[in-house]
Chain A
Amino acid sequence: MKFKLTTALVACGLAMSTTAALADCGIEGGSVRILSNDFEALHVIADAAKTCANDSVEVTSNATTEHKNIQVPALTTNPASYTVPIVATNSIVPLLNEDLIRPLDAYVEKWGQQLLPQQLIKVDGKVMAIAFMANAQHLFYRKDILEEHGIAVPGTYAELIEASKMLKDKGVMEYPLAANFKPGWNLAAEFVNAYLGTGGDFFKAGSAELDIDNANGMKTLETLKAMTNYMSPDYVTYDTNGVKPIWEANELAFVTSWGSRASAYIGDDSPAPEIAKATALAAMPALMDGGVPSAALWWDGFTIAKNISDEDAEASFRAMMKGISPQVIAENQELAVWLVDGYAPTPAADGVVANLQGKARPYPMVPYMGLLHTALGDNVIEYLQGSESAEQALDDITAAYNTAAKEAGFLN
């Protein structure tokens, strides 16, 4: 609570000082309505954008974990209920598919001098979104335990499994490893991470035809299964929030989890300060020897709705420029891995930065990736629990994906 309060105060103080300097962001009029996910880094941006409000400019925001489910209906109306949907690599796809967001090239040229080239998300040559932060899963490890037992930081899954085995055999921990293996979205994300590490692609080039029923798919499944040998049987219920208390209870030596959770793991306000101090971050292990970190890279960014007046669109873009201005980010370095100019990584960013440096691959932004993600989420667990073979699991994934892709019109 105290931490949140000081962050808010810093943001407010900063906002006030820059407001005076920029005189209400220079927007003449319009309405800015932000729809976003609900976490601290996005609150800071929305709060900064709100400082652009004055008598003729209205700025509101709705931060909700339901954002993904309401964005399409909310933007389909004319005028749209929100002018600025804040999206991620996956949630921009339905907006693109349904043609609900506008190209931003003209705005970038006119008002986007502060942006770095890497922030521009271009689809078919047109800027469709402005990215401001990166996220990825990576390895969290207990450096005190590793030092005590002379274990090097695992760089590959094989080393991770080897180290877990050693800790288990020595009786240090019964289940030294944990990951977000809950069936559904979480388990699918783990499959995607590992599969990207094989270097293979999910689809045949230029088509919606699935291409995972091969050696890469087998290797991915086998690796995930090998991990479960060192995880508590309760892993079938583990998601991001479920793993953290077990880490803090001193029962784990390795966790793979999201970079956006890193500051909570290592922060001074952790409920287990000793363990927070002993927690260190590294890149996601590679699946192949000498391979890239097997983690999908994600970005978070904002888009501007299509079904709104040009005045509102301009006001929205300029308010968001204020929201992600280098000054705002400079005051909130620890909240995320920012892609904004002038960002200096904090210790909480170590894992994601290591992934970036290791050339990890981005989460695929194709229109049918969401359908595959769902098919993976439903059909991997039976293999992990030993009730069916890897071949059967890959067949089931393919069948579920093909059915869904046919219904969505991507396959014949």
Chain B
Amino acid sequence: MTHKEFMAFIWPSLLAMALFIAVPIISVAYQSMFVEHEQIMIETETCGPFGCTPEVAVDQDAMRKVREDSPAGRFNGLDTYTNSSHLATDEITEIVATSENFGEIRDRIMNLPFYKALIFTLSYTFIVTPLVIVFGFIIAVVVNSIPSFLKGPVIFFSLLPMIVTPLVGSLVLFWMIDSRGVVGAFLQYLFADPSLSLKASPTLTWVTLFVYGVWHSAPFAFVVFYAGLQTVPSDTLESSMVDGANRWEQIRFVVMPYLLPLATFVALMQLMDNFRIFEPIIGFSASASATSLSYLIYTDLREAETPLFGSAAATSMLTIIGVIILLLPVLFRNAREFNRKA
């Protein structure tokens, strides 16, 4: 294919990618370097049904001119990235300087909102992703070996967790783990501990979210591996049987190496998805014990009456950088293999 032909085929995709991916990211990056204008305040009196109080209000006439002059806001450079709600560089310097030992440094850094969210996000990503791959593979192998008339219904039920919308799925489970719900009550009975509450303890909340994550994503890995299993070359399998390999050895030495590229694909997708964990935190009302980077963006935009666009944009950019760092090893590995084959 000539370069000209190649361009003719690729330009619609390139255009769409530029419009819908590159431009929004650039605009978010631009936004993250601006903050609101300094508000010009006037002292006023506010009166209402409950009496009058002296208050301050924004001076509209003065602000109108400032806003017209520079509608994007006040240039702040990278200061939003380094403030105490994000990377908190000044705070960390101070913590390192004034703490007595490593444990204190760790505890104080983990109390900063960004790092608190980051540690949960990373824990979730690195615990859920491998478990999803393992469980997805096991389900795929099991389903592949059941009689064919059962396969349809079993596949359908295995896929259900993925079909359910994350928010709805987590809400359903949230009610089930309530101490009056079927799972919560059973656990209390099982451990003979009437005060056991999956919602209250930070540790158990984390575990609940991890379990939910595996439950929700395992079907995705299952589908991919199941499709892969259909293409495992039967002659290789048969020759391994002739060589006397048992079932485990067939899986270990024939199926697994064959499916490895698929595992890389699943790992890539899951790392990206899990790093952006958000809905379960809302669904499980888990924000007391677990916050994620996406949750920080949500609170910046939704909790306050006045959204903090600059802060949300900075967290978004940090999330993108985080995803890139996470994916780099996997991408490098893929590129190396590609070069070797070529």
Contacts and interface: CB of A to CB of B under 8 A. Distances in A.
Interface of A: 68-69, 89-91, 93-94, 96-97, 99, 118-125, 131, 134, 182-185, 205-208, 232-237, 239, 249, 297, 299, 339, 356, 360-362, 364-367, 370-371, 373-374, 377-378, 381-382, 385, 387-388, 392, 396, 399-400, 402-404, 406-410, 412
A7 B42 CA distance: 45
B244 interface: no
Contacts of A120: 47-48
Contacts of B50: 134, 297, 299, 356, 360-362
A403 B38 contact: no
Given A99-B64, A249-B180, 10 more contacts: A69-B302, A90-B305, A206-B56, A208-B56, A239-B285, A362-B48, A373-B305, A382-B111, A387-B202, A399-B84
Interface in B74-132: 74, 76, 80, 83-85, 91, 111, 113
B165 interface: no
Nearest to B48: A121
Is chain A's binding surface mostly helix, strand, loop or mixed? mixed
A62 to B, nearest CB: 19
Given A362-B53, A388-B111, A373 B64 contact: no
A93 B111 contact: no
Nearest to A363: B50
Interface stretch (B136-144, B193-201, B223-231, B330-338): B193-201
Interface residues of B, number: 57
A412 B44 contact: no
B38 A377 contact: no
Interface stretch (B15-23, B210-218, B306-314, B319-327): B306-314
Nearest to B311: A407
A346 B60 CA distance: 41
Nearest to A379: B113
A282 B115 CA distance: 43
B288 interface: yes
Contacts of B202: 385, 387
A234 B304 contact: no
A251 to B, nearest CB: 9
Contacts of A94: 305-306
Give the interface centre of A89, A123, A237, A366 by most chain B CB atoms within 10 Å.
A237
Contacts of A408: 35-36, 39, 306, 308
Contacts of B249: none
28 contacts: A96-B58, A97-B39, A99-B58, A118-B48, A118-B49, A121-B49, A124-B45, A125-B45, A183-B287, A185-B303, A236-B289, A239-B285, A249-B180, A364-B55, A365-B55, A367-B56, A370-B305, A370-B306, A371-B304, A373-B303, A374-B299, A374-B303, A396-B111, A399-B84, A404-B304, A408-B36, A408-B306, A410-B41
B139 to A, nearest CB: 31
B320 to A, nearest CB: 20
A339 B49 CA distance: 8
Nearest to A362: B50
Contacts of B83: 403, 406-407
Nearest to A120: B47
B57 interface: yes
B239 interface: no
Interface in B181-223: 195, 197, 199-202
A299 B49 contact: yes
A208 B42 CA distance: 12
Contacts of B285: 182, 236-237, 239
A302 to B, nearest CB: 14
Nearest to B291: A378
Contacts of B304: 370-371, 373-374, 404
Nearest to A92: B305
Contacts of A297: 49-50
Contacts of B74: 409
B146 to A, nearest CB: 40
B57 A206 contact: no
B43 interface: yes
A404 B288 contact: no
Contacts of A374: 299, 303-304
A296 to B, nearest CB: 10
A184 B84 contact: no
